[in-house]
A and B are shown apart, each in its own frame.
Chain A
């Protein structure tokens, strides 16, 4: 491939990916730090580079409603949002999966109010983690573009037929200019087949979509959606593998970094993995047996792959970017602990919440976390720590 890396703002790279995927409908409302994505998409549509209907809706609730409708009509559909925007979509977020409408949404992750804050953490996506969407987390710009392309294929696969969110850290990724390989339309067309919907509004073969589910069928309808979400993991892996075959960039549902012989493993999601890898390298130089495991696929949770990745660890330091109020654990730690509970040989698990509302996450934070997680005296090892909080 004679491709050349070009300097591109990550938000714009996501928009370009949507253009390369030849989306039919974009329905979106601007919100910081996601705005550049849909702003550039409206430009691409206005300039005739993307033959799509751009619906400038009056709210995110309408954005997601429009997306569900257009996806049901057989249109390849995209939207993007952040924080309060995602919160305003809430009721529609739970509807899209059950109706099996494979909308793709980029979320430039940002803290939820209050206090009002436009900077990065994972409180927006974590607050809607049960909605039934496939959820992917990007680490860098290239991955943001690649995952956007793959999301259309994953979601639209008739074995999946579910909406997919691509989570990119607000500002930390969305507003950075990175060297990015941008594939051609022809290459993407080879990877992504035309959208052939599982459920479709079709005048020739009418159906009602959005039915009432009585007590006699509601449980079964939810179970059918959960079954599809759990089964989507294999399709995600297949789409990752085919992408690697065609584009040479390899992705796994769970990534490991220097974790093969690690006694202490840091568990992270999103862009802080890059800082964490630098910290791991530094600690390794000092002889510390530390490694990193990153969840790229968050929903469905890749339990088996995750357990295999953390196998060597004596100490697991799970890092969360969201505070679950009323429970002394972050969302990732809550789940990791529940998976490990029944295992006889399980590592000691401690949980660290940090980087809230855009507070910097530095190498020193990972040094500190590693020290704490491997503390020989179990009593000194925290169960849960809100890192760096000034009390």
Chain B
């Protein structure tokens, strides 16, 4: 007996022609293949915005002038480490993603 796969759709539920409604990619969280994640040291952060600018996936959100930091969105962060590489204050460390 083959194992049951938690299929997204069954044959009878598939739309004709395997089409999709616009905007459906919003339902997919693409951060789940991450093996490393950025760990931030907010004490050292100078709110320069390098991580925000350099992130190739735009996952850093500006938390604003009061909080003065940038928060990664882990639904989409792939753990590439560009932010850690570019941070001028070395306040981002890449750590192993614990599943």
Contact of A211 among B5, B7, B16, B20 (CB under 8 A): B20
Question: Which residues of B are found within 8 Å of A206, using beta-carbon distances?
Answer: 22
A227 to B11, CA, bound (A): 9
Number of A-B contacts defined by CB within 8 Å: 53
Q: A216-B6, A216-B7 are in contact. Are A209 and B17 (CB under 8 A)?
A: yes
Whether B16 lies near A100 (C-beta < 8 A) is yes
Q: Residue of A at shortest CB range from B9?
A: A217
Cβ-based interface call for B99 (8 A): no
- Which A residues touch B21, using CB under 8 A? 207-208
Instruction: Tell me the smallest distance from the CB of B43 to a CB of chain A, in Å.
Output: 42
Q: Tell me whether A209 and B19 are in contact (CB under 8 A).
A: yes
CB-CB under 8 A from B6, the residues of chain A are 216
Residue in A211, A215, A220, A223 whose CB lies within 8 Å of B19? A211
A99 to B5 alpha-carbon distance, docked (Å): 24
Q: Is B14 an interface residue (CB 8 A)?
A: yes
A224 CB-CB contact with B under 8 Å: yes
Decide yes or no whether B10 CB sits under 8 A from chain A. yes
Interface size counted on chain B using CB atoms at 8 A: 17
User: Across the interface, do A220 and B17 meet the contact criterion of CB distance under 8 Å?
Assistant: no
B35 CB to closest chain A CB (Å) equals 20
Residue of B nearest to A214 (CB): B8
Q: How many residues of A contact B (CB 8 A)?
A: 22
A321→B91 CA distance, assembly (Å):
71
- Is A98 in contact with B18, judged by CB distance below 8 angstroms? yes
A216 vs B4: C-alpha distance in the bound complex, in angstroms? 11
With both chains docked as a complex, state the minimum distance between the C-beta of B30 and any C-beta of chain A, in angstroms.
12
Q: For residue A225, which residue of chain B has the nearest CB? A: B18
Partner of B16, one of A199, A213, A215, A220: A199
Least Cβ–Cβ distance between A103 and chain B, in angstroms = 13
Identity of the chain A residue whose Cβ is nearest the Cβ of B6 in the assembled complex: A216
Contacts of A217 in B (CB 8 A): 7-9, 14
Render B31-44 as a binary contact track against A, CB cut-off 8 A, 1 for contact. 00000000000000
Chain B residues within 8 Å of A98, by CB: 17-18
A161 at the interface (CB under 8 A from B): yes
A206 to B24, CA, bound (A): 12
> B7 contacts which chain A residues (CB < 8 A)?
216-217, 220
Given A216-B5, A216-B6, A216-B8, do A224 and B14 touch, yes or no (CB 8 Å)? yes
What A residues does B18 contact at CB under 8 A? 98-99, 211, 213, 221, 224
Is there contact, CB below 8 Å, between A198 and B11? Answer: no
Q: What residues on A are CB-neighbors of B11 within 8 Å?
A: 220, 223-224, 227
Q: Compute how far the CA of A243 lies from the CA of B40 in the bound complex, rounded to whole angstroms.
A: 73
Determine whether the beta carbon of B17 is less than 8 Å from that of A199.
yes
**In the complex, A258→B7 CA distance in Å?**
51
Contact, CB under 8 Å: A220 / B14: yes
B9 touches A199 (CB 8 A): no
Contact with B along A164-201 (1 / 0, CB 8 A): 00000000000000000000000000000000001100
Interface residue ranges of A74-132 to B (CB < 8 Å)? 98-101
Contact with B along A217-244 (1 / 0, CB 8 A): 1001101100100000000000000000
Pair B22/A207 contact, Cβ less than 8 Å: yes
Q: Report the minimum CB–CB distance from B16 to chain A (whole Å).
A: 5
| In contact, B14 and A207 (Cβ under 8 angstroms) | no
Give the distance to chain A from B22, nearest Cβ to Cβ, in Å.
5
A211 and B18 CA atoms in complex are apart in Å by: 7
The 10 closest A-B pairs by CB, nearest first: A199-B17, A100-B17, A207-B19, A208-B20, A220-B11, A221-B18, A216-B8, A223-B11, A206-B22, A224-B14
Q: List 21 A-B contacts (CB under 8 A).
A: A99-B18, A101-B17, A161-B17, A198-B17, A199-B19, A207-B15, A207-B20, A207-B21, A208-B22, A209-B19, A211-B19, A211-B20, A215-B5, A216-B6, A217-B8, A217-B9, A220-B7, A220-B9, A220-B11, A220-B14, A223-B11
